[in-house]
Chain A
Amino acid sequence: MSSKLSGYASSDVAAEFPPGLKDFNYAPFWDFHVLGVEFAITKLTLLTWLAVVGISVFFLLAVRKPKLVPGRLQWAGESTYGFIRDGMARSMIGDAGVRFAPYLTTLFLFIVANNIYGVIPLAQVSPNAKISLPVVLAILSFVLFNWVGIREHGAKTYFRNLLFPPSVPAWLYPLLTPIEFFSTLVVRPVTLAVRLFANMFAGHLLLLVFTLGGVALLASDNFLFKGFSFFSFLLAIVLSLFEFAVQLVQAYVFTILTASYLQGALAHEH
């Protein structure tokens, strides 16, 4: 590695133990400015683009020639959409939630695709392991549920119901309104982003520890350490399977919480 790139992730695995924050910084291979804003295209950017293209192509092919008796691809597309529409949009929000099914399906698949990069060979890192992508997704969901609530009730009623819960006496509002404000408008988007980011970040670090640790043990002069690298690699494999489950669960949790917030924004206070 040249000294210029010393702050970035390296491809020289044996020299890279212990792993650290540097393993999340990829060297940009394309740098340009648009209107004074710097854009740096890295491996993570490419992976995100690939996810967008992959999901688009999947659904375009799935519905290109819809048949009454679906083929394999059409079946896959329809059952994915049906799973989110019935299992999330309809069961969480009700019949009014079906119009959110396309967004929730896209959100779920986008997060799934970006998460499982963490265990896909050659990719081997999730773009969600940097907080910027989860932040964008959380802002999207945050803006959506507030916008939907304002559209449904009008801005005045929506924020009144949000900040001044009608079922409690008015003299408690000084105590309760700050709590409501904080829990709905601050905690919700922050936890959405941080939960996804932290899971992907920790997962990547965990796999790095045991993979690079195995390499470091194997490269050591001590005979016992060399033998021990077997267990390190074994654990890396087991944890890869575990991470795969975490990646699916986190995508599910992010989507279902978005659906839950939408339901809250649409609901009428009793």
Chain B
Amino acid sequence: MADDQPDRGPEWGMNTGWAIVGTLISGMAVWGGAGWLIDWWLGVSFALPIGLVLGAAGAILLIVKRYAHLSDE
């Protein structure tokens, strides 16, 4: 893809923004949701915060891996 990058208009940055926000929310929703289920099943209350942090960390890692190279251009 590197050699046939299209001309990037302003909307290109907007899409990257949408994608990053989507990944962040997905991370917290998936693992926060899993943590909430564990809390609910086992009657404990520590899994939700752990899940939220894990999900956010995973999402940030994905975002860095996928979009960090853009800042070099």
Q: Identify A165's interface contact among B14, B19, B62, CB under 8 A.
A: B62
Residues of A within 8 A of B22 (CB): 183, 187-188, 191
A256's nearest neighbour on chain B, judged by CB, is B11
Count of chain A residues with Cβ under 8 Å from any Cβ of B?
Answer: 32
Query: Which stretch (A36-44, A132-140, A170-178) binds chain B?
Result: A170-178
Q: Does B38 contact A (CB under 8 A)?
A: no
Name A267's closest neighbour in chain B (CB-CB).
Answer: B1
Q: Select one of A92, A94, A167, A179 contacting B59, CB under 8 A.
A: A179
Residues of chain B lying within 8 A (CB to CB) of residue A256? 11, 14-15
Closest Cβ–Cβ distance, residue A191 to chain B (whole Å): 7
Q: How far is the CA of A168 from the CA of B4 in the complex (A)?
A: 24
Q: Pick the contact of B26 from A172, A183, A264 — CB < 8 Å?
A: A183
Residues of A within 8 A of B61 (CB): 168, 172, 176
Count A-B pairs with CB separation below 8 Å. 80
Known contacts A94-B5, A187-B22; is A179 also within 8 Å of B12 by CB?
Answer: no
Q: Is A176 touching B58 in the complex (CB atoms < 8 A)?
A: yes
Complex CA gap A239/B7 in Å reads 36
Return chain B residues, CB-CB under 8 Å to A180: 62
Check if B62 sits within 8 Å of A176, measured CB to CB.
yes
B10 — nearest CB in chain A belongs to which residue? A91
Residue of A nearest to B26 (CB): A183
Chain B positions within 8 Å of A93 at CB level: 6
> Are A179 and B11 in contact (CB-based, < 8 A)?
no
Instruction: Name the residue of chain B whose CB is nearest to the CB of A268.
Output: B1
Q: Give 9 CB contacts A-B under 8 Å.
A: A91-B11, A175-B58, A179-B62, A183-B22, A186-B26, A187-B22, A187-B26, A264-B19, A270-B1
B residues sitting closer than 8 Å to A (CB atoms) are 1-2, 4-9, 11-12, 14-15, 18-19, 22-23, 25-27, 29-31, 34, 54-55, 58-59, 61-62, 65-66, 69
Q: A91-B12, A95-B6, A183-B25 are in contact. List 18 more A-B contacts (CB 8 A).
A: A88-B11, A92-B12, A92-B15, A94-B5, A168-B62, A175-B58, A176-B61, A176-B62, A178-B34, A179-B58, A179-B59, A180-B62, A183-B23, A187-B25, A256-B11, A256-B15, A267-B1, A268-B1
